[in-house]
Amino acid sequence: MQVFYSDTFSLPLPDGHRFPGGKYTALRDRLVATGIVREDELSVSPLATTDAILRAHDAAYVEAFETGQLDRAAIRRIGFPWSEGLVTRTRATVGGAIAAAEAALQDGIAGQLAGGTHHAHRDFGSGYCIYNDFAVTALHLLETGLASRIAIIDLDVHQGDGNAAILGDHPDVFVFSMHGEKNFPFRKQVSDLDVNLPDDTQDAAYLATLDTHLPAVLGFRPDFVLYQAGVDPLAEDKLGRLSLSHAGLMDRDRMVLDACRRQGIPVSMGIGGGYADPIEASVVAYANTYAVAQEVYGV
């Protein structure tokens, strides 16, 4: 299983910033230490090209972000202070998503240890998301002829509003988001299929709901799936408001990946949100997603 990482590109954050930037390196270290992913399966994410990014994003927005010209309100909405390092890291996240998708076409499954930046819209960033890696990747696959029908399965606890806004009208993309009803973003977009969950939803109800709606996604007959495997539905997550266990998240991943494998649909994964305190609980959950992928695909 090929896995791409971008934590070697710095993510400069001030002391006390609420975003847990250290989780990416901690995840890579855990995957290798536990043998879930071998060193020779890991590659540094390439930087996405401007042409690729512009498939999903407005040129004026890209120019303003990359030259440090976004106004204070736009930077505040993103949630990260601007830096040249942030620009490089953001391009690596998108490049890693594209590389993982192309690897999944060869191997059936691949992923990156970042990504799922589903709050980024065409002309603005939001919620720690600057460029939308799944939107860029979906349009890259479609416009290069590598795929003809794509489904996004977004199981982050927060709605993939950027996915819906950019891709919602695209006839060859099916956007599915199952998320907390009362969580961010508070102004939700309309996906092809949105499923709202009440606060404190636990394993059994969550899995039954997913089992009910997953056939509609696969009924779209996608030939590629982008899986946003956010672990912020975890009970320990300080931004999640749901109450899943580690075992429940693994059952979630197993349900999605096994359904795709049985239908021969390649899957590329982005790790999405995870904000447990302490962050180790999120890192364990992220690693469990890759352990389930290894189990399901025998890689």
pLDDT at residue 112, as a whole number? 98
pLDDT of 244 higher than 90:
yes
Q: 235: which strand partners?
A: none
Cα separation of 234 and 213, whole Å?
20
Query: Is the CATH number 3.40.800.20 carried by domain 2-297?
Result: yes
Contacts of 105 (CB under 8 A, 6+ apart): 146, 147, 224, 266
Express each pLDDT in 60-91 by its tens digit. 999 999 999 999 999 999 999 999 999 999 99
Residue 73, class by beta-carbon neighbours within 10 Å (0-12 exposed, 13-18 middle, 19+ buried)? exposed
**pLDDT, tens only, 171-225:** 999 999 999 999 999 899 999 999 999 999 999 999 999 999 999 999 999 999 9
Owner of token pair 């239908």: 263
Give the pLDDT band of residue 55 (cuts 50, 70, 90).
very high
Confidence of residue 265 (pLDDT cuts 50, 70, 90): very high
What size, in residues, is the chain? 299
118 pLDDT exceeds 90?
A: yes
Binned at pLDDT 50, 70 and 90, residue 299 comes out as confident
The whole-model pTM stands at 0.97
Alpha-carbon span 289 to 292, nearest angstrom:
5
Domain ranges of the chain: 2-297
Q: Where are the beta strands (DSSP E) in the chain?
A: 2-5, 42-44, 109-112, 150-154, 173-180, 193-197, 224-228, 267-270
The token pair that represents 244 in the structure block? 């899943």
Mean pLDDT of the chain: 97
Nearest Cα neighbor of 260 from 269, 272, 247 is 269
| Distances from the Cα of 66 to the Cα of 51, 77, 262, 269, 282, angstroms | 14, 16, 42, 26, 30
pLDDT tens sequence across 56-66: 999 999 999 99
